[in-house]
A and B are shown apart, each in its own frame.
Chain A
Amino acid sequence: MAAPYTPAPTARGGRIKGHRIVFHVTAVLVALIFLAPIFWVAMASFRPTAMSLRPPLPPWPTDNFTLDNYVRLENFGQSILHYTANSAIVAIGTAVLTIAVALLAGYGFSRYRFPLKPLAFVLILSTIMIPFQSILTPLFLLLARMGLQNSHLGLILVYTTLQLPFSVFMMKNAFDAVPKEIEEAARMDGIKGMRLLWQVMVPLVVPGMVTSGLFAFLNAWNEFLAALVLLSDQDKFTLPVLMTAVRYGRYGAVDWGAVQAGVTVMMIPCLVLFLILQRSYIRGLTAGAVK
């Protein structure tokens, strides 16, 4: 990253260089502020139990590195792995179902003409205008009546519905960008129906599918209020709900070491997924911003 040496800097060049140094120093300091809390909690989660009740200065373990905080999450019902699996089932289930449903709907909206099509499209998109928080009360009753309350499947169906306006819009745009000629050529070769969608079209809209799936996964993994309301058995809890129970502590004592460990477990998959799929994420985010 070493900049090529520029001989004999003029007064103007010198000033610009000074500006740049000030800029980069500021930018790095701001970056440290944004990253510090994440770094702090991850480091503190490896401190021994006795230290977790003392201020985290420094955040890393000073006598010995330990996984005690993670092990202690066992005491809250099942093991931490069990709850991580719950969260993973819900998040992966939501991502897969969202991709499947949005893929079909995006294809239908992009390539077919059928009665009431504009109405159907507006109906799906309009759900974005109405926050799910305002329909949570009846949703609770409805799921109870369907036998889906307190079940991961119920949560997956609700989360998938919440993802639809974004992901159907995303997938329709992805299909719109595929030239019609490709389908026509395939039709001439005698490929049609689901085979046409699966073998010819799907490989062309993979980026849209990745973006839809990524948003669905992250939103489902992190969602709190609906999970808090809809899950009642402790062994069904997803991580955010479990960790809230841990945070309030039993008998009034809060186990901050366990909270640090839980927060770390919740954050790591999101950070890793984002760092791998940064491009997809940013594309999804800016799709709505520019036109």
Chain B
Amino acid sequence: MSNTVPDPSPDAPPTPRAPRRTDWQGLVYVLPALGLVAVFFLVPLGMTMWMSLHDWPLLGNPRWIGTANYTRLWGDTSFWNAMRFTVIYTIVATIGLMGVAMALALMVQSEGRAITMYRTAYFLPVVTGFASASLLWAWLANVDAGLFSPLVQMLGITEGRVNLLARFDLAFWSVTIMVVWKMAGFYMVILMSGLQSIPSDYQEAARIDGASWFQRFRWITMPLVRQPFALALILCVSGSMLAFDQFYIILNGGPRNQTITAVYKIFNESFVSFRLGYGSALSVVLLIILMVLSAIQLWLLRDKGDK
């Protein structure tokens, strides 16, 4: 701490900044990205609104019908059934995912060679992709060539064969379990990054004061992982609300069309029945519901001052 050595950083006058030129060169660098966003995002977004006000078949001329798609949608029980199914799935999947992810994150938050290996193992299903995971699950759940039916018989749970995918409740749970298996590692990493940012002396001090594991979890861990938890929750809810791959690939909407999700319904209207205008109207409604949901979550989990 001698004053003879010049200390450049804190007390020295700020180094003169290079004059940041206000010119168009920066815009040139940004232009390719802006172009892509304009063409493949803004234009289709605007078109969605526009198309939703038309009767728009794949072939033939679109016809302006005003809000008729929306009035029809209001009474379309098949859409609201899909919406209800999506919401139920989202609630169940989110509870399952956040619970398992939190348990995993608590398990692997400390450092160590073995812990790093567990972390990698829990994370591996995340990188496999929904299509691969769904195909894999479709096979394992298949009554003839799969694994679950003989396993259940071997364990003596039932006598006969079990077709997991033929009954609504079993199909629903098996797909949800697949999603928890595939995605838990993803949310584990997000929650873990929050857990690791908690200074360890907080836990230590509470331990010395005689706080139980649960008390420490409730009053120290949870409040401090609020931000990553909010992020994980929002990603999980919006991701589940957009579920398609797993229900299309594993169940193909069955049994008896009971597992059609909102995106699946849009897919059916637009690309199976080719009612592009009606599909667009459904998209707009789904979009509004998603934005409202995200806003509610942000509001509920907002940072309350310095707490």
Interface residues contributed by chain B, number (CB under 8 Å)? 97
Segment at the B interface, from A74-82, A109-117, A203-211:
A109-117
Query: Does B249 make an interface contact (CB < 8 A)?
Result: yes
Known: A109-B30, A114-B26, A133-B242. A183 touches B18 (CB 8 A): yes
* Total contacts A-B at CB 8 Å: 295
Determine if B114 and A111 form an interchain contact, defined as CB atoms under 8 angstroms apart: no
Q: A130 at the A/B interface (Cβ < 8 Å)?
A: yes
Determine if A138 and B287 form an interchain contact, defined as CB atoms under 8 angstroms apart.
Answer: no
Quick check: A134 and B34 within 8 Å, CB to CB? no
Residues of A close to B117: CB separation below 8 A: 31
| A60-109 interface with B by 8 A CB criterion | 100-102, 104-105, 107-109
User: In the bound complex, do residue A161 and residue B41 qualify as a contact, i.e. CB atoms below 8 Å apart?
Assistant: yes
B52 shortest CB reach to chain A, Å: 9
Q: Determine the chain A residues whose CB is within 8 A of the CB of B231 once the complex forms.
A: 288-289
Flag if A164 contacts B114 (CB, 8 Å).
no
Contact B40 A282 (CB under 8 A): no
Q: When A164-B37, A225-B245, A274-B124 are in contact, do A243 and B131 touch as well, CB less than 8 Å?
A: yes
How far, in angstroms, from A155 to B115 measured CA to CA in the complex? 39
Partner of A137 from B228, B238, B242, B276 at Cβ < 8 Å: B276
Q: Which residues of B contact A37 (CB under 8 A)?
A: 125, 136-137, 140, 181
Question: How would residues 190 to 208 of chain A score, 1 for a CB under 8 Å from any chain B CB and 0 otherwise?
Answer: 0000000000000000000
Task: Pick the most buried of A127, A131, A273: most chain B CB atoms within 10 A of its CB.
Answer: A131
| Among A108, A184, A222, A286, contact of B189 (Cβ-Cβ < 8 Å) | A286
Partner of B271, one of A183, A229, A290: A229
Chain A residues whose C-beta falls within 8 Å of the C-beta of B123 in the assembled complex = 274
With A27-B107, A115-B27 as contacts: A137 and B147 at CB distance below 8 Å: no
A28 to B137, CA, bound (A): 22
Q: What A residues does B294 contact at CB under 8 A?
A: 129
In the bound complex, do residue B140 and residue A225 qualify as a contact, i.e. CB atoms below 8 Å apart?
A: no
* Contact present for A137 and B118 (CB under 8 Å): no
**Chain A contacts of B267 at CB under 8 A?**
136, 225, 229
Q: How far is the CB of A29 from chain B (nearest CB, A)?
A: 11
**Are B146's CB and A55's CB within 8 A?**
yes
- The answer for the CA separation of A56 and B17 in the assembled complex, in Å, is 67
Q: A260-291: contact bitstring with B at CB < 8 Å (1 yes, 0 no)? A: 10110011001101110010011001101111
Of A31, A266, A278, which is within 8 A of B131 by CB?
A266
When C-beta atoms are compared, the residue in chain A nearest to B28 turns out to be A108
- B10 interface residue (CB < 8 Å to A): no
Q: How far is the CA of A278 from the CA of B120 in the complex (A)?
A: 8
Q: Name B150's contact: one of A24, A57, A114, A223 (CB within 8 Å).
A: A57
Question: What residue of chain A has the Cβ atom nearest to residue B17's Cβ?
Answer: A180
B32 at interface by CB-CB < 8 Å: yes
B270 within 8 A of A: yes
- The reply to whether A260 and B139 form a contact with Cβ atoms under 8 Å apart is yes
Given contacts A104-B30, A108-B28, contact A134 B147 (CB under 8 A): no
Q: A114: which of B27, B132, B135, B186 is its contact (CB, 8 Å)?
A: B27
Among candidates B23, B135, B238, B244, residue contacting A262 with C-beta atoms closer than 8 Å? B135
A127 touches B37 (CB 8 A): yes
Q: With a CB–CB cut-off of 8 A, which chain B residues contact A181?
A: 15
Q: In the complex, what's the smallest C-beta–C-beta distance from A205 to chain B, in angstroms?
A: 14
User: Across the interface, which residues of B come within 8 angstroms of A224, CB to CB?
Assistant: 129-131, 244-245, 249
Determine how close the nearest CB of chain B comes to the CB of A182; give it in whole angstroms: 11
Q: Within 8 Å of chain A (Cβ to Cβ): is B98?
A: no
Residues of B within 8 A of A271 (CB): 124, 127-128
The 8 Å CB contact of B194, one of A158, A262, A289, is A289
Across-interface contacts of B97 in A (CB, < 8 A): none
Contact pick for A290, options B20, B23, B197, B286, CB 8 Å: B197
CB of B172 within 8 A of chain A?
no
Give the CA-CA distance A30 to B291 in the complex, in Å.
36
Chain A minimum-CB-distance residue to B276: A137
Q: Which residue of B lies closest to A131 (CB)?
A: B242
B169 located at the interface, meaning its Cβ lies under 8 Å from any Cβ of chain A in the complex: no
Q: Which residue of A lies closest to B18 (CB)?
A: A184
B20 touches which one: A107, A112, A243 (CB < 8 A)? A112
28 contacting pairs across A/B (C-beta < 8 A): A27-B115, A28-B118, A34-B122, A34-B181, A34-B185, A55-B145, A104-B32, A105-B33, A109-B26, A112-B25, A114-B24, A115-B27, A120-B27, A127-B41, A133-B283, A134-B283, A138-B45, A140-B270, A141-B51, A142-B39, A158-B40, A180-B18, A187-B18, A222-B128, A222-B129, A225-B263, A240-B132, A271-B127
Residues of B within 8 A of A (CB): 15, 17-18, 20-30, 32-34, 36-37, 39-45, 47-48, 51, 104, 107-108, 113-115, 117-118, 120-125, 127-132, 135-140, 142, 144-147, 149-151, 181, 185-186, 189-190, 193-194, 197, 227-228, 231-232, 238, 242, 244-245, 248-249, 252, 263, 266-267, 270-271, 276, 279-280, 283-284, 286-287, 290-291, 294
Having A183-B18, A225-B245, A266-B128, one finds 18 other A-B pairs with CB under 8 Å, namely: A38-B136, A40-B147, A55-B150, A101-B33, A105-B34, A112-B29, A113-B21, A114-B23, A124-B34, A129-B291, A130-B45, A136-B267, A187-B18, A222-B131, A240-B129, A244-B248, A263-B139, A289-B228
By Cβ-Cβ distance, the 6 closest A-B pairs, closest first, are A112-B26, A222-B129, A108-B29, A138-B47, A240-B131, A31-B121
